[in-house]
Amino acid sequence: MKQIILIFMIIFTTQVTLAQVKTVKGTVNDANGLPIPMANVNVQGETKGVTTDMDGNFSIPVEKGKTLVISFVGLETQKIVVADDSSIKVQLKEGSTNALNEVVVTSLGIKKSKKAVTSSVQELKSEELVRVKDANLMNTVAGKIAGVAVTKSASGAGGSTKVVIRGNSSLTNNQPLYVIDGVPLMSSSSSQPNETFGSLAGGNTDGGDVISLLNPEDYDGMTVLKGASASALYGSLGASGVILLTSKKAKTQKSNLKVSSVSTFEQAAYLPKFQNQYVASSAAGASTTWGKNPDGTYTKGTFEDEVQDFFRTGATQITSVGYTAGTDTSFTTLSYANTTA
């Protein structure tokens, strides 16, 4: 008797399980009603899945109450709960935030889809320009763009910065061309001082370059055009590459006030050592450069730091205030920046 009851229970359970599994057929189309081949149709939480054929059709066995996940590259993913219907139609819309549709600024300020640009173009967002502020805008992007070598001047705040894109291409000047909102900046010579002490007449001092006059808070991003194909529209001026800067623009019917302040402190990591044990010989016709020790003997000289009080802790304070407001027909931008070093 127990065996008969057990057999009936197994048969009943099998019938209930088979009743829950059904074959769902459907069609996947895009926003224009065209079929989407090779779209993925998966059962959520399971490894079961199929792909659509060339006409966008699919067929998949699934239990009632399960969720079907329909996805395709570049389109929004949809989820459908399996009910009593055995046939469904799915329409996938274009994704609102899609990396494939990312727009970059190219030569002459022309905006193009990133996937349509064949030349080497790299973009840097505005938050990267102000993450670690410096008196020179280009010093803040050091190490953030591949193929761009940024060398900071040792002359202090306001000094020029050497920027080389993808190696040296000239024996005289390898500086890239800077373009702001489509207007090229004719930078003067940005060669850094090559002598130990600058000439008192000003012939060998570092007066900075044109990029050091810009406030990074004013710009929405930076685009670097590498190679001749990327910067060909700028002719010989862009032979060493082009750096494009795009100014921030106010949003319609919105006003924004932004205040930022950055403090930087610098201290000498190590100090030079000078010997003070030997004194210069003042005797006429002396055969040695340095004289005897005060006690009249010649011993090996020692070094002692005598310049510690000469160095002080350097402080740089960068403060900026920016206000933007816009309407349907115009926008206003007002900014002020102060650098004290």
Q: What is the pLDDT along the chain (341 residues), one digit of tens a residue?
A: 667 666 666 655 555 444 468 889 999 998 888 899 989 999 988 888 899 998 999 999 988 888 999 999 878 899 999 888 888 999 998 765 444 456 777 777 677 776 667 677 788 888 888 887 888 888 888 888 888 888 887 777 777 888 888 766 667 678 888 988 888 887 655 455 555 555 454 556 676 778 888 888 888 888 888 877 777 788 888 888 888 898 888 777 788 899 989 898 988 888 776 665 665 655 556 555 565 555 555 544 444 455 777 778 889 899 999 998 888 888 888 999 998 98
- pLDDT for 181 equals 87
- pLDDT for 27 equals 93
CA distance 193 to 201: 13
- pLDDT for 5 equals 66
Strands of 93-204, DSSP E: 103-105, 111-113, 120-125, 148-152, 161-165, 177-180, 183-185
- DSSP for 38-81? T-EEEETTSS-EEE--TTSEEEEEEETT-EEEEE-TTB--EEEE
- pLDDT for 159 equals 79
- pLDDT for 302 equals 41
- pLDDT for 259 equals 92
Q: Do residues 322 and 217 lie in contact, with contact meaning Cβ atoms separated by under 8 Å?
A: yes
- pLDDT for 247 equals 87
* pTM, to two decimals: 0.56
Residues facing 157 on adjacent strands: none
Torsion of CA 95, 99, 101, 103, to 10 degrees: 140
- pLDDT for 303 equals 45
- pLDDT for 288 equals 57
CA neighbor of 209 nearest in space, from 265, 261, 262, 163: 163
